[in-house]
Structure 1
Amino acid sequence: MSRDRLAASRAHRSQTMEMSNLVSTSPAGGSSSLFLSEVANIQDGIRHYNENVSRISVLRSQLLNEPNAEGSEQLDSLAEENRNLSQDLKGRIQRLAQQPQGQDAELRRNQIALLQSKFMEAIQNYQLIEKENRAKSRQRVERQLKIVKPDATPEEVAAAFEGGDEQIFAQALTTSTRYGESRAAYREVQGRQEDLRKMEQTLAELAQLFIDMGTLIEQQEAVITAVEDTARDVEGNTEKALQHTSEATDHARSYRKGRWICFFISLFVVCVLALVLGLVFGTKK
């Protein structure tokens, strides 16, 4: 059953990668339907990422109590899958954010912001689970070390976490009255040390991924702010242009009105002069 789930997980990852390649080769700023389709695919990828995190948590709990090679292999496979999936999701979200925006700009911004929020939430959840499992593994290592050396100092416990415990165990095993139990504890501590190193690596990668997503959001916000500032400037300039146009129209109307007034005044003066001259010359006759 576990192998079937692993095969299905790999098939899903392959399908996700193929969809990512299709989107990356499609024209930037495509139709809204293509955009929303990619948003839905990324959401599916985030859900699968969260499902893997849940399975990783279950496997770690099982391996904490009963270490076994098959479970460790599944755990490593899931961790590697999520490592690749996280990079894929980050790249796809980044490509969406970099696409040119048209009339549906607000829709795109809202959807991208939602994807970023969900993905960062998934990263934080994975970090929390790994930190909890790291703490449990450390407690287990400390308990196993106490079996071999009940009076182990905090420095010796810390050395066991870092892998520098060979001398401690060598000395303890020569003096322990429970050699078999002590030997088993030593082997388990060695296995836990490898698990702790892997968890530390995963936590470091998740921290960097979270920083990368935060940087992407900051860059996107800067672009949005610049676009909004430009839009406000254009709107302000348009309003000023309309105001100047209105003023020019008013001036033109006033000018034309003045010309007509001057014309009628001139016409009136000419008529009066003609009338006066007519009366004067008519009287002389």
Structure 2
Amino acid sequence: GGGSFMATFFGQVDDVKEGINGIKAATKRIHAITDERMLAVSNATEEQLSRELTPLVDKTNRRVKATKELLQRMSDETASAKGTVKQSEFRIRENLANTLMRKFGDVCKDYQREQQRYKSEIQKTVKRQLEIVKPDVTPDEIDTVLRNGGTSEVFRSAILKGAADPIKSAYADVADKYQDVLKLEQSVAELHQMFLDFALLTEQQGELLDQIEYQVKSAGEYIEDGNTDIQYAIQYQKEIRKRYCCLIVIILVI
């Protein structure tokens, strides 16, 4: 029935909110890791931050995927229920699902942006380190070094000429950063594919409507639906006020 339909939906809303908040927290931590790495004065600190980054990205990518799949399921279930539940309930559910999709898309973009920022800072660091070996290093050579984990001609030629300690140190640092770059490139590629899938999902939903206006209209429909039974309408209206407040709180909290 309608009650079960909405109860299941609100449980899914809580799960999506939890997923969104988890992605937000991970994004904030990646931002902090990037800042800490920029200020790091020892290889030990950099290595510690790198060890934290990989499992954090893996866990968050799984969370992104699970949340996207849940939103897809919510969308499918809502669409299949059209015509079998009250129009007001259907519209509330459809609109709130669209709002969650939009917020999910926003936090995922922030998450992807922070990964790109971390990668960009690594590239800047590698450039500075390569300039120790070759002051006139080119962007293509930097990219080649990153993709070969330090085992590039730039380093080989420098080592053959008699590797000084700074060159050896730069080589070790670049080799360590290689895995971070690969991890983030893989992560960003996965997110890109998710965004393509997500774009199709949100496109199917049509244009987003203003959340508050939608709820006011839906509440009015609930009252109209109850005109055939006064007592039922009074009780239903009380329930809808409660749900309406919950929806507003959910929207504000997210």
TM-score (structure 2 length as normaliser): 0.69
Q: 1:173 aligns with which of 136, 159, 162?
A: 159
Aligned-residue offset at 1:147:
0.7
Matches within 5 A, 1:115-126: 115-126=100-111
Provide runs of 4+ in structure 1 moved above 6 Å: none
1:30 aligns with 2:4: yes
Tell me the secondary structure at the aligned position of residue 4 of structure 2.
coil
Matches within 5 A, 1:36-75: 36-64=10-38, 65=40, 66-68=42-44, 69-75=47-53
**Could you tell me whether the CA contact under 8 Å between 2:68 and 2:198 is conserved in 1?**
yes
Aligned residues: 195
Distance in 2 between residues matched to 1:71 and 1:157, nearest whole Å: 22
Distance in 2 between residues matched to 1:28 and 1:198, nearest whole Å: 45
Give structure 1 stretches of 5+ with no counterpart.
1-26, 223-285
The C-alpha deviation readout for 1:23-45, integer Å capped at 9, x for no partner, is xxxx9993313312321221122
**Could you tell me whether the CA contact under 8 Å between 2:130 and 2:137 is conserved in 1?**
yes
Distance in 2 between residues matched to 1:67 and 1:109, nearest whole Å: 51
**Could you tell me whether the CA contact under 8 Å between 1:148 and 1:173 is conserved in 2?**
no
RMSD over aligned Cα atoms: 2.4
**Could you tell me whether the CA contact under 8 Å between 2:20 and 2:107 is conserved in 1?**
yes
The C-alpha deviation readout for 1:58-115, integer Å capped at 9, x for no partner, is 2233235344444322211111111111111011111111112421011001110011
C-alpha distance 32-169 of structure 1, shift in aligned 2 (>3 A): same
Identical positions, percent: 27
Please tell me whether Structure 1 or Structure 2 has the larger radius of gyration of its CA atoms.
Answer: 1
Q: Give the aligned partner of residue 213 of structure 1.
A: 198
Distance in 2 between residues matched to 1:132 and 1:162, nearest whole Å: 18
Q: 2:135 aligns with which of 128, 143, 150?
A: 150
Distance in 2 between residues matched to 1:94 and 1:28, nearest whole Å: 20
Give structure 2 stretches of 5+ with no counterpart.
208-254
Q: Give the aligned partner of residue 210 of structure 2.
A: none
Distance in 1 between residues matched to 2:164 and 2:202, nearest whole Å: 57
Q: Report which structure shows greater RCO (CA 8 Å, sep ≥6).
A: 2
Q: 2:184 aligns with which of 185, 199, 218?
A: 199
TM-score (structure 1 length as normaliser): 0.62
Distance in 2 between residues matched to 1:155 and 1:41, nearest whole Å: 44
C-alpha distance 75-51 of structure 1, shift in aligned 2 (>3 A): same
